[in-house]
Structure 1
């Protein structure tokens, strides 16, 4: 047994040392690349001791793409980078990002680069190496199909190619891709995403080059983003008033078009402009036949150029995912043009903004094909939609505008953007996707002045704004969860909860009423004297300030004592009501609300009668009282007017004035009841508009 154990220990030691590594596991391509690098004659120049094996392999691949040795890349980085980047503890990651940005800027110069599996693998391996850049990183992963990447690596590398990701929505893209893989992204899923993205780009190219709306959209060079309503199984119905008609819906990067469907063709398209300032309103809508509100699967569109709003319906058997998708992409185009107008962008900057919206919509289309069985939130994947919803989203847009206007930067910064200190911009790769866009095709030299959203070793202002907005949004989500948790059903239950919450205010009000009605004369007299003294001395502002200070101290003391935790509000729930009792309660509440509205209308009509002198004697008295009040306000100091008003109000029910007050109240009530209400004439509405629409429908059918 001793000899056997010694032999076993010796074999285990040899395996650990690597002598029998070929027996312990299958060699991978990564292992071969590492061994090739270490055995090459220029291993000292090509292998950087500061980098991990995956990072060294990735840098070697980048050097092959660029046609430069690794040592030359290191020298270029030392010459261009700041001292902070060169001597920072994260040097390995900074140098790796530098090589990645350079290699990507060279790789995208090939046409249809997304169709190249080596390019897709290169980006994924960049993410793996980014997670383990330094030699001190342990354990080292292999650059193979079993490796996975996390959200930080994806959010850093994917936006370096704008069509693949975006800084603002990169985390949401990652969540969709890694939803079924425990929040770690596998290459197979990522590869499928880029393949679908390449197919979506081809579809986009074919649609934009087709004859769809050619006579109308060629004036502005519009690109077709989406078309729906061509299949009989998925119709699109336009509602205008009570009329409805099926047709084809087309979205471009400037407008929305609807063509009524005929037997073998389509009518001339109706254009709903999204680029101009027309005070457009776009929101979800409930629609149905003949104006009924039955199905929540429509989009409402209104602008000042239309005489009446338009409702576009997307019929579905269940749910409204199709409507939500169209609502999101229509809003994305609308918000993009609002952004352009707000910051007065033009030329290349304007083209870059429209490209951001186009790329976002293309990414959503690709993700929809991958997650066809699981609905995705399209709004969360479109940057302008996200900025409209996120708290501090306006600050994100300001950061985007500042980055787009970097054309005023000096030539040195422009050179850095070319040499790899910044990621590439959308315009830099637009033509390499197989289509020309905007003015970028005729001004390619100027695109060097437009940098991307990522800087080597730095967090840009845009990334900072996104992180702050995400943090604020998390707080909003937590707060909203507490709001949803305390919602209760039933009018009676909600009234009981409200009564309990207002109990402190109710107690204070009851205490004031006790003083006002002199239930305890000594307390009322003391309060009256103290309040009069404060008003005479002009200390009312100091009293109000003292109350605010007291409230602030009260909150801070509670914060220190309770540590942010408060006891639950205990409310005695009312007895449960059946359906009939609930209906009676609702009817009773509606009746009370109607009575209050009637009383309010009578009050307003009596005031109208006084103003128009329908009761001359009452009008003369009212006008005389107003003149006296005006003279007092003009010639008497305000503090004395406030003092007199307070004494008159507070001593009204004192033992000395109670009988006189009741007599004057009776006279005022008799005088008020004697005032007639101004007359009201009700006219019935004649709905000629509906008649016109019915006539229009009949003529259209003929």
Structure 2
């Protein structure tokens, strides 16, 4: 059996399962290609925790996310302009290979039992889909995958010298292509994602033309960072701010819980003492006390039976 995860409406999420259709155990993954008839429920029985289920959810989510990324940031398969940029036809293969490498790294960490954080943070496309500033990182990945030198015919048609001077303009202005740090071109017509019009995207690309190091290739820069690395630094910083803010909110929400717990313990203290004394009676730690207790219970039961009216 096969399930197509390249569909636009494909999804994967945690779900609960149980006997006779009940929702008791949070140990499964629901996977769908868009229609209810093609929905699978994959159950992971693991009494040691939910890590195995979370790892497989990360695997599946990464596959769905990479094809969502290809649809949103890549050129169409029948776009003739893909032949105007050298190597752009390999962009989809590069994106899929990058996702496969992420899954392989996560699987290796699972095998050697070195998973110390949420597996969803270790697969790039799935994580960047929801991370702060993640859309800009996805843009730089798209430029890295599909960007390349213009062919001779395309250069003469688009006036390369004019476009190079426009490379530092706002990419959302509609008048320019986007350039990688080595001059590789990502065509304007491929910028169909709404994320290109955001303010933080415009600010990033406006400042991306500043170069300090020695550029050996789009992925190798000496004494500086390439575009993907620059975007990832901003993404990490903004993620830390969001996590600190969320932690502050959670701490403020549960601030009064310790005092409430202490009050609850004080109220439950008499019942705890009675339960502990009853256990001592059960264990015959003090035979005289246990014998007196049994005698008392026997007397109560006997008197209750004697006073019951006869019908």
Q: TM-score, normalised on structure 2?
A: 0.54
**Distance change in 2, residues 1:294/1:362 (3 Å):** same
Q: Given the alignment of the two structures, is residue 315 of structure 1 paired with residue 45 of structure 2, yes or no?
A: yes
Q: Given the alignment of the two structures, is residue 337 of structure 1 paired with residue 64 of structure 2, yes or no?
A: no
Residue of structure 1 equivalent to 2:290 = none
Residue of structure 2 equivalent to 1:455 = 221
**Distance change in 2, residues 1:374/1:459 (3 Å):** closer
**Distance change in 2, residues 1:312/1:486 (3 Å):** same
1:307-456 correspondence to structure 2 within 5 Å: 307=37, 309-345=39-75, 346=77, 347-370=89-112, 372=113, 375-409=116-150, 453-456=219-222
SS at match of 2:96: helix
Q: Tell me how far apart the structure 1 counterparts of residues 10 and 35 of structure 2 sit (CA, whole Å).
A: 9
User: Could you tell me how far 1:318 is from its partner in structure 2?
Assistant: 2.5
CA deviation vs aligned residue, 1:242-263 (integer Å, no higher than 9, x gap): xxxxxxxxxxxxxxxxxxxxxx
More relative contact order, 1 or 2 (CA 8 Å, 6+ apart): 2
SS at match of 1:299: strand
Q: Tell me how far apart the structure 2 counterparts of residues 309 and 297 of structure 1 sit (CA, whole Å).
A: 16
Q: Tell me how far apart the structure 2 counterparts of residues 477 and 305 of structure 1 sit (CA, whole Å).
A: 35
Q: Tell me how far apart the structure 1 counterparts of residues 114 and 11 of structure 2 sit (CA, whole Å).
A: 31
Residue of structure 2 equivalent to 1:481 = 247
Q: Tell me how far apart the structure 1 counterparts of residues 115 and 61 of structure 2 sit (CA, whole Å).
A: 22
CA deviation vs aligned residue, 1:7-36 (integer Å, no higher than 9, x gap): xxxxxxxxxxxxxxxxxxxxxxxxxxxxxx
Q: TM-score, normalised on structure 1?
A: 0.25
CA deviation vs aligned residue, 1:70-106 (integer Å, no higher than 9, x gap): xxxxxxxxxxxxxxxxxxxxxxxxxxxxxxxxxxxxx
Instruction: Tell me which structure has the larger Cα radius of gyration.
Output: 1
User: Could you tell me how far 1:353 is from its partner in structure 2?
Assistant: 0.3
RMSD: 3.1
User: Could you tell me how far 1:273 is from its partner in structure 2?
Assistant: 1.0
1:90-489 correspondence to structure 2 within 5 Å: 269=1, 271-277=2-8, 279-307=9-37, 309-345=39-75, 346=77, 347-370=89-112, 372=113, 375-409=116-150, 453-488=219-254
Q: Is the 8 A contact 2:11 2:34 kept in 1?
A: no
User: Could you tell me how far 1:341 is from its partner in structure 2?
Assistant: 0.6
SS at match of 1:361: helix
Q: Tell me how far apart the structure 2 counterparts of residues 350 and 295 of structure 1 sit (CA, whole Å).
A: 38
CA deviation vs aligned residue, 1:218-276 (integer Å, no higher than 9, x gap): xxxxxxxxxxxxxxxxxxxxxxxxxxxxxxxxxxxxxxxxxxxxxxxxxxx1x221112
Structure 2: any 5+ residue segments left out of the alignment? Answer: 78-88, 153-180, 183-216, 266-311
Runs of 4+ in 1 over 4 A off after TM superposition: 373-376, 575-578
User: Could you tell me how far 1:396 is from its partner in structure 2?
Assistant: 0.5
**Distance change in 2, residues 1:393/1:456 (3 Å):** same
User: Could you tell me how far 1:406 is from its partner in structure 2?
Assistant: 2.0
Q: Is the 8 A contact 2:62 2:99 kept in 1?
A: yes
Structure 1: any 5+ residue segments left out of the alignment? Answer: 1-268, 412-420, 423-450, 495-571, 579-702
